[in-house]
Amino acid sequence: MLPPGHIAGGYLVGKVLLNFLPYSFASAEVNQLLLMGALVGFAPDLDMFYAFNRLRGFRLARVDEYDNNHRTYISHAPAVWLIAGLAIFLLAGTSFWKTFGLLIWLGGWSHFILDSLEWGVMWLWPFNKKEVYALANKKYEARVHEAKGFVDYWLRYLLEDYAKHFTFYLEILIIITALIVLLD
């Protein structure tokens, strides 16, 4: 999934979480927490910049470069976000930072759930580096290999690859849902 979908997903997780928690916040705090949720929803993909650096270009890893598929980095391991989030929750002294800890866990996991529909995520790490999928039965292979520069590459990726996946339509749905909730 692309950044807009992950941001919208993290925002929705924040909304649901704030509804369920027994804490009450001032409206400025609510807005800060929802913003944090949105950012955490996207945050695991910041490891793409490390991958871009290793791949020497703003593109996705080919199958023969699988070690530099950013979803094989530990920044994409759900256990890391679970442990970090719970540690913050347990150590935090205020309900605001406790909620932030839960957002790290659950906002991060919203990212991994969406990534694991078709792209695969290491749900079993640290016991196993195997990627787990919900809908796909084989490793994702990037379809665009040659392009005339950055814009051409990512446009072709969007049209020739990403738009052919179920995730693309789910992403549109999540963005629309988040906008409806935001404007409500």
Give the residues lining the site for Zn ion (CB under 5 A): 44-45, 115
| C-beta of 45 vs 131, nearer to Zn ion | 45
Tokens 């839960």 correspond to what residue? 102
37/81 Cα distance (integer angstroms): 13
Minimum Å distance from CB 45 to Zn ion? 5
106/112 Cα distance (integer angstroms): 10
Minimum Å distance from CB 114 to Zn ion? 8
| C-beta of 44 vs 101, nearer to Zn ion | 44
- Report DSSP letters for 47-82, one per residue: HHHHHHHHHTSSSPPPGGGGGG-GGGSGGG-HHHHH
| C-beta of 13 vs 18, nearer to Zn ion | 13
| C-beta of 109 vs 153, nearer to Zn ion | 109
Minimum Å distance from CB 155 to Zn ion? 21
At 165, phi and psi to the nearest 5?
Answer: -105, 150
Helix (H) or strand (E) holding 30: helix 27-42
| C-beta of 25 vs 133, nearer to Zn ion | 133
Q: Which two tokens stand for residue 24?
A: 């009450």
Minimum Å distance from CB 163 to Zn ion? 18
Minimum Å distance from CB 27 to Zn ion? 31
C-alpha distance from residue 177 to each of 24, 40, 90, 110, 170 (Å): 24, 18, 32, 15, 10
